[in-house]
């Protein structure tokens, strides 16, 4: 059974977009449960995530399972017509597991073993954790596989949130060595890839290799890069071990896990094929003016993970969170706007952390759909209104986000490599670059997809414009594909410090950026980042035209006709206003237009296309004033 068939189990249970949140009934007694049922009905809840942190309650002693408490909740939810994303409960191991098997606890890079008492305190390579986790997943699948409430499996929780690249124990070290053996075959190959003749690091055997633990100075960059890859793969292996047992026992139930906001830790393009539907947790800071844009970008990334398919917003906060230094509330209306923003960018559900605000524990000051104050609160009133509003657009369910004409290229391994230490500047950060390229499109209400560096040529050529922010590390094959994309008519906007190293962080020789020199029509001789964080470089034009130059006459933006297409190059980061003007010009040249014409300042629109082919525009007013927007098609 493939993912489309499995997803029917979820979508078949929903009459409109999914609406609800994390439901943690184990924190409450029967009276509250009765009220939950009533309030969920009032709020229009149709989907909840159940059991995320319920391992200790469900398996109170090794191998002794107690499902009775869960049976009742699932039955009640089924009766109320609420679909359930049932968690495999493995994100937070119970105290007995780490008491009996302290080796499960992760070890930091300086050798400190972390303690239980929080959550995610497990080593991703631990066979003990994996065996116990899979056993629990198997029990859950066997018991609830045919339960009418079960619509979706939710494996673990936010992989890599607390423990990515966070284990340097002996078990992890052995696993890292095994992973390297698989990747390189021989230690000679590894020595070559890791440039170990530098600083006398040549290895005689795999047994001499460690995870990049705390060391006197810079650690080998290729080793660090491989450790990022290994950590992402190792967590994926944990997820897959559980998934394997779930799909064997319940082949008709879709499987997902929730990704952390704009996380660097996991290579999400490598993970995505293993999720039936992408799921995401979004926590914009209501006091950060850049948050709506960052959030929009993150949603574009989520949509890009499965080539434009809708995804699930699995968590957001109805009001304040509790984990920033100062946790401001969302002002009235903000939650509604945030929710529609997610839908506009492709979300098929609007779920919250969590349904009912906890009374005790570390998250008691985190907002919830039902606040401590209960039904007579502003938040619950807004929750009720939003539920009714989402339910009144049933056509959105089954609609697909309209494909954009522009895309931004993102690659996790290059992101990891870009931000390694001992570089020309510590100020070059991928997210800053990606957001700076995406913002002018967002401000102009131009839709932008996100694509992986591995996207094939046919898929790339669907786009008129490709933004390539700081693609520092690139394989020859990818570079060649990008060049062909332009040669055959595409337009790229590429930023500095792209095409510098290969997949092992070895410099592409032949003048920077060697794989893109012909494409861009220039050569970079030296990098010269300034103390204020500005990046500059010395460029020699080899066919490109300078579009703008610095006061000293150095080209800052260049344009080069390459075959049928055009390659723009930014040798520095223009100020936001200049970036907008530049991208407006580039867009005009290659015909990339806003979703709707003439939208007032602060108003953004995205389009979803229904199964019947109708275009639905979701129009978001992010400004402070009321505006009227006329409906016109593109
Ligand atoms: C994450 C977790 C939740 C909760 C929220 C709080 O998203 O998945 O369990 O801790 O953060 O914001």
Q: Which residue has the CA at smallest separation from atom 11 of ligand 1?
A: 353
Q: Is residue 276 within 6 Å of ligand 1 at its C-beta? A: no
Q: Is the peptide bond preceding residue 583 cis, with omega within 30 degrees of 0?
A: no
Q: What is the pLDDT of residues 49-70, one digit of tens each?
A: 999 999 999 999 999 999 999 9
Q: Is residue 315 within 6 Å of ligand 1 at its C-beta? A: yes
User: In the annotation, is 622 catalytic?
Assistant: no
What mean pLDDT is predicted for residues 338-349? 98
Using the mean position of ligand 1's atoms as its centre, give its distance from the Cα of residue 495 in Å: 35
Q: Is residue 321 within 6 Å of ligand 1 at its C-beta? A: yes
Among 314, 310, 256, 251, smallest CA distance to 282 is for 314
What mean pLDDT is predicted for residues 469-490? 98
Q: Is residue 23 within 6 Å of ligand 1 at its C-beta? A: no
Q: Which residue has the CA at smallest separation from atom 5 of ligand 1?
A: 353
Distance CA 404, CA 206 (A): 47
Beta strands in 110-196 (DSSP E): 150-154
What is the reported pLDDT for 630?
76
Distance CA 539, CA 524 (A): 4
Q: Is residue 120 within 6 Å of ligand 1 at its C-beta? A: no
* Burial of residue 285 (number of CB atoms within 10 Å: 0-12, 13-18, 19+): middle
Q: Is residue 353 within 6 Å of ligand 1 at its C-beta? A: yes
Distance CA 42, CA 36 (A): 10
Return the ligand 1 atom nearest residue 52 CA. 9
Q: Which residue has the CA at smallest separation from atom 12 of ligand 1?
A: 321
Confidence of residue 634 (pLDDT cuts 50, 70, 90): very low
Distance CA 634, CA 632 (A): 7
pLDDT at 459 over 50: yes
Return the ligand 1 atom nearest residue 260 CA. 7
Q: Is residue 158 within 6 Å of ligand 1 at its C-beta? A: yes
Among 410, 408, 422, 430, smallest CA distance to 493 is for 408
Return the ligand 1 atom nearest residue 258 CA. 8
Task: Supply the mean pLDDT for the chain.
Answer: 97
Q: What is the pLDDT of residues 412-446, one digit of tens each?
A: 999 999 999 999 999 999 999 999 999 999 999 99
Q: Which residue has the CA at smallest separation from atom 9 of ligand 1?
A: 353
Chain centroid, CA 567 distance in Å:
28
Using the mean position of ligand 1's atoms as its centre, give its distance from the Cα of residue 309 in Å: 24
Using the mean position of ligand 1's atoms as its centre, give its distance from the Cα of residue 353 in Å: 6
Q: Is residue 316 within 6 Å of ligand 1 at its C-beta? A: no
Q: Is residue 87 within 6 Å of ligand 1 at its C-beta? A: no
Q: What is the pLDDT of residues 544-568, one digit of tens each?
A: 999 999 999 999 999 999 999 999 9
What percentage of residues in the chain have a pLDDT greater than 90? 96
Using the mean position of ligand 1's atoms as its centre, give its distance from the Cα of residue 346 in Å: 21
Hunting for tokens 């660090």 — which residue is that?
Answer: 224
- If one counts every other C-beta atom within 10 angstroms of the C-beta of residue 210, the result is 15
Using the mean position of ligand 1's atoms as its centre, give its distance from the Cα of residue 235 in Å: 18
Q: Which residue has the CA at smallest separation from atom 7 of ligand 1?
A: 281
Q: What is the pLDDT of residues 208-266, one digit of tens each?
A: 999 999 999 999 999 999 999 999 999 999 999 999 999 999 999 999 999 999 999 99
Q: What is the pLDDT of residues 374-402, one digit of tens each?
A: 999 999 999 999 999 999 999 999 999 99
| Residue in 315, 382, 402, 503 annotated catalytic | 315
Q: What is the pLDDT of residues 490-513, one digit of tens each?
A: 999 999 999 999 999 999 999 999
DSSP state at residue 186: S
Using the mean position of ligand 1's atoms as its centre, give its distance from the Cα of residue 349 in Å: 17
Using the mean position of ligand 1's atoms as its centre, give its distance from the Cα of residue 33 in Å: 22
The radius of gyration of the chain's CA atoms, rounded to the nearest angstrom, is 25
Beta strands in 533-614 (DSSP E): 537-541, 545-549, 555-562, 565-570, 603-609
Upper half-sphere CA count for residue 320 (Cβ side, 13 Å): 14
Q: Which residue has the CA at smallest separation from atom 2 of ligand 1?
A: 158
Q: Is residue 445 within 6 Å of ligand 1 at its C-beta? A: no
Using the mean position of ligand 1's atoms as its centre, give its distance from the Cα of residue 329 in Å: 16
Q: Confirm if 274 and 232 have CB atoms less than 8 A apart.
A: no
Q: Is residue 366 within 6 Å of ligand 1 at its C-beta? A: yes
Using the mean position of ligand 1's atoms as its centre, give its distance from the Cα of residue 407 in Å: 30
pLDDT at 633 over 70: no
pLDDT at 595 over 70: yes
Q: Is residue 53 within 6 Å of ligand 1 at its C-beta? A: no
Q: What is the pLDDT of residues 179-191, one digit of tens each?
A: 999 999 999 999 9
Using the mean position of ligand 1's atoms as its centre, give its distance from the Cα of residue 92 in Å: 12
Q: Is residue 281 within 6 Å of ligand 1 at its C-beta? A: yes
Using the mean position of ligand 1's atoms as its centre, give its distance from the Cα of residue 258 in Å: 10
Cα 243 to Cα 51, 125, 129, 179, 230, distances in angstroms = 17, 17, 15, 21, 19
| Top mutation candidate among 363, 364, 365, 367 for ligand 1, by most atoms within 8 Å of CB | 363
User: In the annotation, is 419 catalytic?
Assistant: no
| Top mutation candidate among 163, 315, 327 for ligand 1, by most atoms within 8 Å of CB | 315
Q: Is residue 10 within 6 Å of ligand 1 at its C-beta? A: no
Q: Is residue 157 within 6 Å of ligand 1 at its C-beta? A: yes
Structural domains of the chain, ranges and CATH numbers in brackets: 1-19+278-392 (no CATH), 406-590 (3.40.50.880)
* Burial of residue 580 (number of CB atoms within 10 Å: 0-12, 13-18, 19+): middle
Using the mean position of ligand 1's atoms as its centre, give its distance from the Cα of residue 118 in Å: 13
Return the ligand 1 atom nearest residue 323 CA. 12
| Residue in 158, 402, 503, 537 annotated catalytic | 158
| Top mutation candidate among 50, 157, 158 for ligand 1, by most atoms within 8 Å of CB | 158
Q: Is residue 283 within 6 Å of ligand 1 at its C-beta? A: yes
What mean pLDDT is predicted for residues 278-304? 97
What the block records as the tokens of 64 is 């002794």
Q: Which residue has the CA at smallest separation from atom 4 of ligand 1?
A: 353
Q: Confirm if 72 and 25 have CB atoms less than 8 A apart.
A: no
Q: Is residue 280 within 6 Å of ligand 1 at its C-beta? A: no
């Amino acid at each position: 059974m493939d993912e489309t068939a499995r997803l029917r189990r979820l979508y078949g249970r929903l009459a409109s977009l999914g609406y609800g949140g994390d439901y943690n009934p184990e924190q409450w007694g029967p009276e509250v449960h009765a009220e939950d049922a009533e309030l969920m009905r009032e709020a229009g809840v149709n989907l909840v995530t159940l059991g995320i942190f319920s391992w200790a309650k469900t398996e109170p002693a090794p191998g002794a399972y107690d499902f009775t408490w869960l049976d009742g909740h699932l039955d009640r939810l089924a009766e109320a017509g609420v679909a359930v994303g049932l968690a495999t409960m493995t994100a937070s191991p119970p105290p007995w597991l780490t008491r009996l098997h302290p080796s499960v606890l992760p070890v930091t890079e300086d050798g400190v073993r972390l303690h239980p008492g929080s959550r995610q305190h497990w080593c991703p390579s631990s066979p003990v954790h994996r065996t116990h986790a899979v056993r629990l997943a198997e029990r859950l699948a066997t018991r609830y596989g045919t339960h009418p409430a079960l619509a979706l499996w939710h494996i673990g929780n936010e992989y890599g949130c607390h423990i990515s690249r966070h284990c340097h124990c002996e078990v992890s070290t052995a696993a890292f060595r095994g992973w390297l053996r698989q990747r390189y075959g021989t230690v000679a190959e590894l020595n070559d890839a890791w440039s170990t003749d530098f600083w006398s690091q040549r290895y005689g055997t795999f047994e001499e290799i460690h995870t990049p633990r705390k060391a006197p100075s810079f650690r080998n960059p290729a080793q660090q890069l491989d450790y990022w890859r290994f950590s992402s793969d190792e967590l994926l292996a944990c997820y897959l071990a559980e998934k394997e047992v779930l799909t064997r026992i319940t082949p008709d139930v879709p499987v997902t896990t929730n990704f952390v906001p704009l996380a660097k830790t996991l290579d999400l393009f490598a993970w995505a094929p293993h999720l039936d539907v992408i799921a995401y947790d979004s926590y914009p800071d209501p006091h950060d003016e850049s948050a709506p844009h960052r959030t929009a970008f993150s949603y574009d990334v989520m949509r890009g993970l499965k080539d434009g398919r809708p995804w699930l917003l699995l968590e957001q906060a109805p009001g304040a969170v509790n984990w920033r230094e100062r946790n401001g509330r969302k002002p009235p209306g903000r939650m509604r706007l945030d929710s529609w923003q997610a839908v506009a960018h492709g979300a098929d559900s609007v779920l919250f952390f969590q349904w009912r605000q906890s009374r005790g524990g570390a998250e008691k000051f985190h907002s919830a759909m039902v606040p401590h104050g209960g039904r007579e609160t502003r938040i619950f009133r807004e929750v009720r209104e939003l539920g009714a509003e989402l339910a009144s657009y049933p056509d959105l369910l089954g609609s697909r986000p309209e494909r954009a004409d522009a895309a931004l290229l993102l690659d996790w391994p290059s992101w990891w490599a870009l931000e390694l230490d001992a570089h020309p500047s510590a100020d070059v950060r991928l997210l800053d670059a990606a957001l700076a390229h995406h913002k002018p499109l967002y401000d102009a209400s131009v839709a932008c997809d996100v694509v992986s560096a591995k996207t094939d040529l046919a898929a790339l050529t669907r786009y008129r414009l490709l933004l390539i922010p700081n693609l520092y590390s690139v394989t020859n094959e990818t570079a060649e594909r990008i060049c062909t994309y332009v040669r055959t008519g595409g337009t790229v906007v590429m930023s500095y410090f792209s095409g510098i190293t290969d997949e092992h962080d070895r410099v592409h020789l032949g003048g920077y950026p060697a794989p893109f020199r012909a494409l861009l029509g220039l050569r970079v001789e030296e990098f010269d980042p300034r103390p204020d964080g500005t990046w500059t470089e010395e460029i020699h034009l080899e066919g490109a035209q300078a579009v703008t130059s610095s006061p000293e006459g150095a080209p800052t933006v260049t344009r080069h006709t390459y075959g049928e297409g055009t390659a723009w190059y930014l040798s520095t980061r223009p100020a936001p206003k200049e970036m907008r003007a530049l991208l407006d010009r580039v867009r005009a040249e290659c015909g990339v237009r806003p979703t709707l014409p003439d939208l007032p300042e602060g108003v953004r629109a995205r389009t979803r296309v229904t199964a019947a082919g109708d275009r639905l525009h979701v129009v978001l007013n992010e400004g402070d004033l009321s505006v009227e927007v006329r409906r016109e098609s593109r």
